[in-house]
Amino acid sequence: MENKNSFDQWPISKEIITAIKDKGWSSPTDIQNDSITFALNGTDLLAQAKTGSGKTVAFGIPAIDRCIEDKSIQILILTPTRELASQVSEELNWLKGTKRIEIDAFYGGVGIEPQIKKIENGIEIIVGTPGRIIDLIRRNVLDISKLKMLILDEADRMLDMGFFPDVQWIISKSNDERQTLLFSATFPQEILDLSGEMMNEPEHVLTSEFEVEIPDISQKYSRIGRINKSWALSNIIFDFNFQGQVLVFCNTKRMVEMLEQRFSKVIKDKNISSLQGDMSQSAREKVMTKFKSGNIDLLISTDVAARGLHVDGVNLVVNYDLPNAVDSYVHRIGRTGRMGNFGVAWSLVSSEEMGMVSILKNVHGLDINEYEIPENNDEKSQYFSRKKDWNEHSNLFGMVCLSIDVGLNEGINHQKLFDWIKGLIRISDLAIGSISINESVSKIEIHQSKVDYVIGAIEKNKDLGRIVDVAVV
Ligand code: AMP
């Protein structure tokens, strides 16, 4: 009974134990082991929850266990997105087993009347997004002044989305005696500050307060210019051969739409779909349900789907665009490799995005390594051909370094080289970058937009009495 590696270690409701047994789970995950023990003692909790680590059940068990069947609202769980709210609610609904409590997700974008009805009919646990919860409180339908527990899920995401003032307002409407649990993948200062304000000597379930936690997956990146990203994506996908579902992230809705159209034209025998914030709530839910049940092979999405998406079949995540924030990267790649499955996260990185790669590697110590795009002879992937793109060879400022086999020993110096290039083609001074010259070789930076012209002109020129060799460094 007291085995630390089983759910029986805790004196929790029989209904929950039975539900977990029926589900076939044998042992709690690490976050569950630590969080449940503390939470059942009544302590506040600040927990670092790795994506896919089982955090929902880590707070779900103490929440359901604390509830009594009396139709009064006892637990409020705040989540950043509608998708996450409904996933959490779904998970808690099976977890409660035969316990007769009501648990439901309340979010915006759908009618408020049915939600009001449900509250009036009596509900014990509400999972909601901040906007809709505020609305319900303002209408005097929802009273959270007698909560037993308040849970913030993915607090860092709420912070990113600008929900913190809303969260603080909601907290101000609840009672001080409640227990508070806060789950987050990362801990920016604002979250630590908020936890100081809203929690009472919380226990910490952290690996390290500022460490970024990532699932056990292989992280790859390839330097590739914008115009060749579709080619790269198709090669990666065909090389992967759909051994599991594929999830592709773009930074904009427009790019999601374009990619879906492009790939649907080529890949006819797979189900391809997309998910982005402009779609109606019901359209989004339809896609999520199809994806979860394995009926979509390739899903192209903005960050909307990045959080909390419970899909264990994703084995490949591709960042078509690299996100601008580290935690968004962590959450995106966390959609693969869930619950110990193998996973690959592959980022397509243009030269402008290289700065972010070095932040991921050097500031956060992520193990992300450069790989060549796989060559692919599959005829479908030939639909996208690789175009010459100097962006792939340029630095952050768009400059490409050329090496020319003339140097000091032929009387070349900085000014002469500069004037020579300017005499060959029409090129603005700004398109010429740094120049270095040694005995027999000169190096000169040229803006990517002019590289073809410069190389062409140098290769034809005979000013030096011979054809000079030019190469990209
Ligand atoms: P979460 O981190 O809450 O998003 O959970 C990730 C996935 O792991 C979900 O599909 C859960 O149902 C599943 N899961 C959570 N805890 C366990 C466990 N102890 N054993 C097996 N699966 C689990």
> What is the full DSSP assignment across 271-334?
-EEEE-TTS-HHHHHHHHHHHHTT--SEEEE-GGGTSS---TTEEEEEESS--SSHHHHHHHHT
Cβ of 28 closer than 6 Å to ligand 1, yes or no, is: yes
Query: Which ligand 1 atom is at minimum distance from the Cα of 91?
Result: 12
Q: Is the CB of 115 under 6 A from ligand 1?
A: no
CA-closest residue to ligand 1 atom 23 = 54
Q: Is 53 in the pocket of ligand 1 (CB under 6 A)?
A: yes
| Same-domain status, 431 and 333 | no
User: What's the 55 CA to ligand 1 centre distance in angstroms?
Assistant: 7
Q: Could you tell me the pTM of the whole model? A: 0.55
Which residues are registered as beta bridge partners of 125?
75, 103
Half-sphere exposure of 355 (CA within 13 A, CB side): 7
Q: Does 172 map to a domain?
A: yes
Q: CA gyration radius for the chain?
A: 28
Residues 400 and 455 grouped into a single domain: yes
AA identity, residue 100: R
Of 70, 58, 72, 65, the closest CA to residue 16 belongs to 65
CATH code for the domain of 140? 3.40.50.300
- The domain in which residue 430 lies consists of 390-472
Q: Are 75 and 66 within 8 A, CB to CB?
A: yes
Q: Please, how many CA atoms are within 13 Å of residue 466, restricted to the half-sphere of its CB?
A: 7
Q: Kindly report each contact of residues 427-434 with a partner whose C-beta sits within 8 Å and lies 24 or more positions away, as own/partner.
A: 427/453, 427/454, 433/397, 433/399
Q: What is the CATH number of the domain that holds 395?
A: 3.30.70.330
CA dist list (Å): 27 to 4, 21, 34, 255: 9, 10, 13, 42
Q: What is the pLDDT of residue 209?
A: 36
Ligand 1 neighbour 54 (Cβ under 6 A): yes
211 in a domain, yes or no? no
Rounded to an integer, what distance in angstroms lies between the CA atom of residue 260 and that of residue 274? 6
Residue 215 CB–ligand 1 contact under 6 Å: no
Q: Assess if residue 197 is contained within a domain.
A: yes
Contacts of 41 (CB under 8 A, 6+ apart): none
- Measured from the CA of 28, which atom of ligand 1 is nearest? 19
Across the 473 residues of the chain, what is the mean pLDDT of every consecutive 10-residue run? Answer: 76 96 89 92 88 87 96 97 93 97 96 96 97 96 97 88 90 96 85 87 67 70 91 91 90 92 89 88 85 92 69 87 86 75 89 85 85 79 75 82 93 92 90 92 92 90 85 88
User: Is 300:260 a contact under the CB 8 Å cutoff?
Assistant: yes
Rounded (10°) angle between helices 14-23 and 82-95 = 110
**Do 295 and 405 lie in a common domain?**
no
Tell whether ligand 1 has an atom less than 6 A from the beta carbon of residue 292: no
- How far is ligand 1, taken at its centre, from the CA of residue 183, in Å? 15
Is any atom of ligand 1 closer than 6 Å to the C-beta of 52? Answer: yes
Q: Whose CA is nearest to atom 6 of ligand 1?
A: 52
- Torsion-angle region of residue 111: left (phi > 0), alpha (psi -120 to 50) or beta? beta
| 210 domain residue, yes or no | no
Which ligand 1 atom is the nearest neighbour of the CA of 29? 19
Q: Is 79 in the pocket of ligand 1 (CB under 6 A)?
A: no
**Both tokens assigned to 219:** 């992280």
57 lines ligand 1 (CB under 6 A): yes
Q: Are residues 375 and 399 part of one domain?
A: no
CA-proximal residue: ligand 1, atom 17 (nearest): 54
Helix and strand element counts for the chain (H, E): 16, 18
* Domain total of the chain: 3
Q: What ligand 1 atom has the least distance to the C-alpha of 51?
A: 2
Asked whether residue 166 falls in the same domain as residue 295, the answer is no
The domain boundary, picked from 205, 239, 271, lies at 205
Ligand 1 close to Cβ of residue 25 (< 6 A): yes
Q: Give the pLDDT confidence score for residue 263 in this predicted structure.
A: 92
Q: Treating both helix axes as pointing N-terminal to C-terminal, what angle do 14-23 and 55-66 enclose, rounded to 10 degrees?
A: 150
Q: Is the CB of 35 under 6 A from ligand 1?
A: no
